[in-house]
Amino acid sequence: MERKRRIKRKWLTGYLFILPSFVGFFIFMALPVIMGFGISLTDYNGFNQFKFVGLSNYINMFKDEYFLISFRNNVLYTLVTVPCTIVIALLLAVALNTGIKGKSVFRTIFFFPTITSMVAVGIVWSMMFHPSRGPINQFLMALGVENPPQWLVSTKLALFSVMIVAIWKQAGYYMVMLLAGLQTIPRHMYEAAQIDGANAFQRFFKITLPMLSPTMFLVVIMSIISSFQVFDLISVMTEGGPGRATNVLVYRIYQEGFKYLRFGYASAMAYFLFIIIMIITLIQYRGQKKWVTYMQ
Partner 1 sequence: MKIRKISALLLGLILTCSLMFTACGNPSSKSTNEKNNKETAKEEKGTSDETIELEFYIWSDEENYISKVVEKYNAENNRNVKINLTTIPNDDYDDKMKVLLSGGANVDIIDIRGLSQVSMYVETGTLLDITDYVATSNLDISNYGPMWETSVQDGKTYSLPTRTTCWMLIYNKDIFDANGIEMPEQLTWTEYGELAKQLTSNDIYGGYWVPWIFQFAAIQRGVYLNSDDTSALRESIELLNQFYNIDKSHMSYAELSATNADYLAEFENGNAAMLPNGEWVINMLLQDAAAGKTDVNWEVAPMPIPDGVEPGTTWGQFQFAGINSATKYPEEAFDFLSYLCGPDGSAIYAEAGMIHAYSGEEAEEAYKQAVGKESVSVIFNAKKIQESPLDSNYDEISAAWNENVQLYLLGEKTIEETMDKFLSQRESIVKE
For partner 1, the binding residues (CB under 8 A) are: 45-49, 65, 126, 129-134, 150-155, 241-244, 258-261
The angle that helices 65-96 and 209-228 make with each other, rounded to 10 degrees, is 150
CA–CA gap between residue 24 and residue 165 (Å, rounded): 34
State the CB neighbour count (10 A cutoff) for residue 12: 10
Q: Which is nearer to partner 1, 136 or 177 (CB)?
A: 136
Q: Which is nearer to partner 1, 155 or 202 (CB)?
A: 155
CB of 79 to partner 1, least distance (A): 23
Which amino acid, 148? P
Q: Which is nearer to partner 1, 163 or 182 (CB)?
A: 163
Q: Which is nearer to partner 1, 118 or 193 (CB)?
A: 118
Q: Which is nearer to partner 1, 74 or 208 (CB)?
A: 74
In 3-state terms, the chain is what percent helix, strand and coil (to 5)?
Answer: 75, 0, 25
Q: Which is nearer to partner 1, 13 or 117 (CB)?
A: 117
Specify the long-range contacts of residues 269-277, CB closer than 8 Å, at least 24 apart. 269/61, 269/67, 270/36, 270/40, 271/36, 271/37, 271/40, 271/58, 272/58, 272/61, 273/228, 273/249, 274/33, 276/228, 277/224, 277/225, 277/228
CB 158 within 8 Å of CB 241: yes
CB of 271 to partner 1, least distance (A): 20
Cα 181 to Cα 80, 88, 94, 191, 194: the distances in Å are 24, 15, 10, 18, 21
Name every residue whose Cβ is closer than 8 Å to that of residue 258 and which is 6 or more positions away in sequence: none
DSSP state letter for 242: S
CB of 263 to partner 1, least distance (A): 8
CA–CA gap between residue 249 and residue 266 (Å, rounded): 10
Strands (E), 85-226: none
Q: Which is nearer to partner 1, 17 or 258 (CB)?
A: 258
If you compute the radius of gyration of the chain from its CA atoms, what whole number of angstroms results? 24
CA–CA gap between residue 246 and residue 239 (Å, rounded): 8
Q: Which is nearer to partner 1, 122 or 181 (CB)?
A: 122
